[in-house]
Amino acid sequence: MSGLAASAAATSKGRFDKIDDLIDSRLMARLDRLDVVSRKIFTGKIQGERRSRRRGQSVEFADFRNYSPGDDLRFVDWNIYARLDRLFLKLFLEEEDLSMVIALDMSQSMDGGDPNKFDYCRRLAMALGYIGLVNNNRVSLFGFGGGRIERLTGLRGRRRTREMGRWLLDRKTDGDAGFADGMRAIALGGQGRGVLLVLSDFLFPDGYEKGLTYVAGRGFDVYALQLLAPQEIDPARHGVTGDLRLIDSETAEEVEVTASTSVVAKYKESLERYVGSLREFSVRRNISHQVVETSLDLDTLLLDYLRKRGLLA
């Protein structure tokens, strides 16, 4: 089943209730070939499958250095000692594990759109987390929204896939985002430096600047994936017309709108201005910002869209 088909099936049922709704085996097989690419070099806590610039315990020789007391004798090159009677220590390119943090926006604003933004968010988180687990990275999941921060940390290895899926299935949207608090918790959470994937619509009444500033200054390689429903990107093409009373799902604020051509044009102009300002804010802080329309097929997103943009390799 393709990602889009899975999404349609899930939507038809209303909610996901099993892990296969989040990710199917065919997609998992295709994701096995992918790995998350970090634009930064991080020091992992344990040896991983990631080739690091740091000299370490990998099979790939890097250099020699003189032995110093205390060095691990297992890395002494005994062949050189035999010829030169001097102790040299072999240095290898160390393979580090990558800390991969996925932050999910669980605010009420995510529970909208067709396809549903939160469902799409969970499926995307599942896929990205699976890539991290398959590559033996340390995967952590954070959900923020409704004044709470929920987390699932320390996942490593393919066998934790089901646990991660179960956790994602249990997440519900509620209340406002609390984006700044969520980012602050991640920044201070001691997850180690790594890749931070923020999955959100970034429609925060209080703004995104404070939250992104928390994580931008902590050494994360931050990817901001802005999930927007097709109805939000082009309302007129998706039935948002006529005399409407629009109710904000988070704040319950009501706005009366006569969705005429001119008003919709102004709406799109305002949305573009907002997305543009978010992108500009992100670029200034070395954050990769991507807009993802939830109607986009997940396979295409992962295997084409994100690969071209350097997140996956």
Partner 1 sequence: MSAAGLLAVTWLAPLAASVLALATLPPLVALYFLRLRRTKRVISSTLFWTRATQDLRANAPFQRLRFSLLLLLQLLALLLLIFAIAQPQLDLGGTNAQRVVILIDASGSMSATDCSQSTTRLTEAKRLASERVRSLSSGGLFSSAAPSIMVVAFAKDAQVVCPFTDNAAQAIDAIASIEATDETTQIADAFELARAFTTVTDPDNAQAVIAAPPEYELFSDGRIADLDKVVLRTGERVVFHTVGAATTQNVGIAGLAAARTPERPDEVQIFARVVNWASTPYAGDLEVRVDGTLRAVTPKPVEVPALHEDSTTKVRIAGETQVVFPSIALPQGGVVDVRLTTKDALVADDCASVVAAPPHALSIAIVGKGAFVLRSLLEGMTLAALDVFSLEEWDRRLASDAQTPDAYDVIVLDDAMPAQLARGRYLVFRAPPLAAGIVAYGEKQNASVRSLRDEHPLLQYVNLDGLFVASMTAVAPGGDADVIVEASEGPLVVTVNRGPLTLVYVSFDPMESNWPLQRGFVNFCSNAIAWLAAGGQAVTDEPLAPGDIITARLPSDARTPVLRLPDEREIALVVPAQSNLSYGPLRRSGVYRLQWEQGSADRAATTLSYAVNMKTRTEGRCDAASEISFATERVTGVQGGGSAASAAWPWLLLAAFVLLILEWWVWLRRV
Give the residues lining the site for partner 1 (CB under 8 A): 109-110, 112-113, 117, 201, 203, 205, 229, 231-232, 240, 242-251, 253-258, 263-264, 266-267, 269-271, 274
- CA dist 120 to 68, 90, 260, Å? 54, 48, 30
Least distance from C-beta 38 to partner 1, angstroms?
31
Q: How far is the CB of 241 from partner 1 (least distance, A)?
A: 10
Min separation Cβ 270 and partner 1, Å: 4
Shortest Å, Cβ 43 to partner 1:
39
The answer to whether the beta carbons of residues 147 and 290 sit under 8 Å apart is no
Contacts of 247 (CB under 8 A, 6+ apart): 253, 254
Provide, rounded to whole angstroms, the least separation between the CB of residue 244 and partner 1: 5
Q: For residue 278, give the 3-state DSSP assignment.
A: helix
Which residue, 76 or 240, is less far from partner 1 as judged by CB? 240
Cα dist from 206 to 210, 254, 262, whole Å:
9, 18, 27
> Minimal distance in Å, beta carbon 205 to partner 1?
7
Cα separation, 79 vs 88, whole angstroms? 9
Sign of torsion, CA 96 97 99 100?
Answer: positive
The Cα 2–Cα 145 span in angstroms is: 29
Nearer to partner 1, 117 or 289 (CB): 117
Beta carbon nearer to partner 1, 2 or 241: 241
Are the CB atoms for 266 and 150 separated by under 8 Å? no
Q: Please identify, using beta-carbon distances, which residue of 153 and 241 lies nearer to partner 1.
A: 241
DSSP 149-182: EEEEEEE-SGGGHHHHHHHHHT----S---HHHH
